[in-house]
Amino acid sequence: MPDTSAARSAIRQQSLKGTSARSRVISELRGRIISGELAPGTSLSEIVLSEAFGVSRTPVREALKQLQTEGLVDIRPRVGTFVSAPSRREITELFQMKELLEGAAARLLAQRGRVVELKQLEENLLRADEAVRKGGQDRYAELVHEFHDLIMRGADNAKLADHYQTLMNQLAYHRLVHTSLSQPGRATRSESEHHHVLELIRAKDGDGAERVMREHVRASYRALMDSLDRQASTDAPAGGA
């Protein structure tokens, strides 16, 4: 019988290469969408992407399908593929889920006591206080994201964290934080809310930490929607009916 070991090895090597290319394209595109580098509504051409990544169209096509399942890409047959642009209803529903998940995480963290994430949250707020004083919105937006990530990590619940990460990806949260912080005075109020949450976590008050965390998420949602409304009114053509 002919020796098929070399053929099997070649097939495995090709499969691994394909998997690696697909994973790389997924990771790169996901990062660019979440960061806002690829804005909502941006057209995603398989040909252009395959050339940009130096791969065939197959891993690009597979990557786009995966990102569609994550809610980051919208594939429209016979029209094209685009970066998803969440509707107001979708943003509302996603923030409702964010409120539930982050409230639960704050409760779980409060129940754990003096864990390493608690010290990291304290350090985060010191840096965030300074950013707010200096008016550094970009820096503060980074620290807001870190604060919420630390709450989630501190909950020490892998299933909760997995659902949360999917949610944050769908929201493209980095971009939305900047939008909500554009509301005058929002950064100062946000930082005060973060301090209140941390006080209750330190006190091991799970009920209070969950309640205040949920109130904070609702306040962030209201600031975001107000900012989006203001942007829409600014962008609207003058003299409309």
* pLDDT given at position 19: 60
Average pLDDT along the chain: 86
N residues, the chain = 241
Q: How far apart are CA 98 and CA 106, in angstroms?
A: 12
Query: Which two structure tokens, joined as six digits, stand for 37?
Result: 């580098």
**Position 131, amino acid:** A
Q: How far apart are CA 33 and CA 29, in angstroms?
A: 6
pLDDT tens figures, 55-88: 999 999 999 999 888 888 899 988 999 988 888 8
Query: Which two structure tokens, joined as six digits, stand for 32?
Result: 């660019």
Question: How many Å from the N-terminal Cα to the C-terminal Cα in the chain?
Answer: 81
User: Quick one: which of 56, 171, 186, 194 has its CA closest to 121?
Assistant: 194
What is the widest separation between alpha-carbon atoms in the chain? 82
* pLDDT given at position 39: 84
pLDDT band of 239, cuts 50, 70, 90: very low
Q: How far apart are CA 104 and CA 4, in angstroms?
A: 55
Mean pLDDT computed over 124-144: 93
pTM to 2 decimal places: 0.77
pLDDT tens figures, 136-183: 888 999 999 999 999 999 999 999 999 998 888 877 776 777 788 888
Q: Which percentage of the chain shows pLDDT scores above 90?
A: 55
Q: How far apart are CA 75 and CA 84, in angstroms?
A: 9
Least confident window among 27-41, 50-64, 99-113: 27-41
Instruction: Provide CB contacts within 8 A for 51, sequence distance 6+.
Output: none
pLDDT band of 8, cuts 50, 70, 90: very low
Q: How far apart are CA 167 and CA 151, in angstroms?
A: 15
Q: Per-residue b/e over 204-237, b at no fewer than 16 CB within 10 Å?
A: ebbebbbbbbbebbeebbebbbebbeeeeeeeee
Using alpha carbons only, give the angle 77, 167, 45 rounded to the nearest 5 degrees.
30
